[in-house]
Structures are given as C-alpha cells and as structure tokens.
Amino acid sequence: MITEYLLPESAEKAVAELGAGVIMGGGTTVMPAALAGALDATRVVGLARAGLDTVERQGGRTTLGAMTTLAAVAALENAGALSAAAAAVGGPALRNMATVGGNLVIGGDVATALLALGAEVTLTDRTVAVDELELQPGELIRSVTFEDDPDSVFLRCARRAANSPAVVSVAVSRGRVALGGVADRPMRSPGAEAGDPARAAQEIDPPTDAIASAWYRRRMTELFVRRALEASHAV
C-alpha cells in the first residue's frame, strides 16, 4: 500500500528522496501494480515536477527528457520510426500519460525504435547505450539522445489496431534492425540486418503467452521483418 507520495522539483531531489521507494513517471505501470497489490513499496517518488519533460532538437540530434509523453513523441515531425512507435501505444488517453522513460523501463514499442536508432540514455550520473540500460538502485532515467532518421521504419503486428500489445514489432534505421515482443527486452536482429527475414525468425526464442504463441511470433517476425526491410529499401 502506498503511504507516501512525493513530488520533488528536480531530478537531484528525486534521487535524494528515492530511498526504498519506487519512481513514478506517467503512472501507467506503477498505479495498476499498486491497485493490484503487486507494488512492493510504500513510498512513491513522482517525477511530474522534476523538469524532465524537455524536447531538444538541434544539429540532426534529438534529446527527449524521460518525462516526455508518448503523445508529444508521436507529434514530432520527421521522427520516422520513433513517432510511429509512440503513436502505436494504446489510445490517446494512455499516450497523454505514458512517458519515454517508462517505455524504456518496460521495453515497449518506443524502446524498440530507440534501439534501432542507436540511442544513448543519460541516467543519474552516467550515460549508456540503450541496449545496455539496466537501472541500478537509486538511479533514474534523465533523458535519451539519438540521431534523427526521418527515413527510419517502424511496423508492428497486433491483434487489434489499437489498445493491443504487440505480437512483434520491428524498427529499422541505418542498417540496424530491432525487434520487440520476442524477448524480455527489445533486441537487435543480426539476421534481419543481413537482409534475411527467415534467419531473423530462426534466431529468436520468443515466449508463448496470452498475446501469442512462440510459433506465431516466429511466423510474424519473418513476415514483418520482410515488410520493414522492403519499406526501408533495405532489400
């Protein structure tokens, strides 16, 4: 049960207040867990006032604060795969709450696009490649930076057009291909990067869950990798 909710007014104050609590961005993950009694903490540190909702675009590079909403990301011009991935998450209400930092933590569609874009994540006091992101106790995500690629491509397979988790998602940028939905975290695909959709499907070990079977995910991986590569003119 949540007994303490704090709203520090800077990232530094948020880190200082964290203690044994959990960080909350838009609340789309933390609040459902709290309501279900699955949140193993009583202290919540909200980031709504921490000044982490900035968007900076300069010299062909973009930096998004961790609290930038997915609605704001979806509205970015010339953002290719990233804006497409953000627009694919849930409905308008969810996108107005969900954040870039939160999607990175759960390894969602936006995280898949950022992996293909070769993004770097700035944490409390260090910067790591997005595929090396692993939060340590007391750390928070400050921002993510990447080179703009308007020609990058994002496609996803889902049971419904909206409000449905991805069976598999594919992002392509400058020869990098990232897959989502086929592992615990988004992953690069050597087979897809070699232009071989069949190999991409063979090299993954996807889960079977309530969304899809492993067999179906492999089939859709091959199909959507092929479509994404064709859309990016990579094959």
Number of domains, the chain: 2
- The predicted model scores a pTM of 0.93
CB within 8 A of 93, min separation 6: which ones? none
> What pLDDT is stored for residue 162 in this prediction?
61
Q: Are 90 and 162 in contact (CB under 8 A)?
A: yes
CA distance 204 to 154: 19
Domain boundary among 17, 34, 51: 51
Domain boundary among 30, 51, 72: 51
The CATH number of residue 225's host domain is 3.30.390.50
> What pLDDT is stored for residue 161 in this prediction?
62
CA distance 166 to 234: 23
**What domain range includes position 1?**
1-51
> What pLDDT is stored for residue 235 in this prediction?
47
Q: Along the chain (235 residues), what's the average pLDDT of each consecutive run of 10 residues?
A: 83 83 81 72 85 96 97 96 95 94 95 98 96 91 97 92 83 97 96 97 95 96 97 74
The CATH number of residue 32's host domain is 3.30.43
> What pLDDT is stored for residue 234 in this prediction?
54
> What pLDDT is stored for residue 189 in this prediction?
97
| Any domain includes 122 | no
> What pLDDT is stored for residue 30 in this prediction?
77
